Amino acid sequence: MKRAVWESRSSGLLAALCTALLLAACAPAATNVADPLAQMRQPDGAVVWQQEYRFVPPPAPWQLIDLDEDDYSIACMKLCSEGYPCQSTLAYAEEPFGYSLDFEERQAEFFKRFLWASRVTFAPPELRKVTVLGQDGLEAVTVGTEPVLRHKVRCKILFARRGERVVAFYFTQWRSEEKSFDPADEADFDRFAASFGFLQPSFYERLFPQAP
């Protein structure tokens, strides 16, 4: 249960994921778990996060990961009853890997670094223009394989804009190579991304306001 989920600078996220995996494996099943987001939850079920983001979190058994990390703003994980490597993650990132402001160039930069520590070889991503955060965006979907452990991972990345900057939503689903992917987890990710919104301008938008 020591899968490196993203790039090496994400050590805080990796540690949180590994800790959650260990706790989930060792802890007894809870019969009446309190809503961990109750204090942030709005009457319509959405959550206000850090007074900056508003979104509808995926339902249990998805778990929100508390990140002491600048690279990812929000991340959730879902474990499978069959155990490792079966798990899914979703996240929103203010700073997806790469530098280009062009979506297609950015996704090429992104996949050079994404999951690099897991020794994954990705198939060429399928690219599709989509609407994300109410604006033009880009969807990139691919499957990666890890030949030594014989694992595979399905990835969907949604590239969007916040002001002039590129932001992204991530989805990964790990399986053994003989197992099928579960489309229900990806549907949860799609609903999460569709529900996402901002409550205030970003730090960069406040620092460099655009002329009216």
Tens-digit pLDDT profile for residues 155-190 = 999 999 999 999 999 999 999 999 999 999 999 999
Q: Is the pLDDT of residue 209 over 90?
A: no
Which fold is adopted by the domain 8-27+64-182?
Protein Transport Mog1p; Chain A (3.40.1000)
Both structure tokens of 25: 């494996």
More reliable by pLDDT, 209 or 150? 150
DSSP 21-33: HHHHHHSPPPSS-
Q: Is the pLDDT of residue 21 over 50?
A: no
Domain boundaries, the chain: 8-27+64-182
Confidence of residue 37 (pLDDT cuts 50, 70, 90): confident
**Rounded to two decimals, what is the model's pTM?**
0.80
Both structure tokens of 141: 């979907």
Cis peptide before 209, with omega less than 30 degrees from 0?
A: no
Tens-digit pLDDT profile for residues 106-157 = 999 999 999 887 889 999 999 999 999 999 999 999 999 999 999 999 999 9
Cα–Cα dist 144/174, whole Å: 9
Residue 117 near residue 132, CB atoms below 8 Å: no
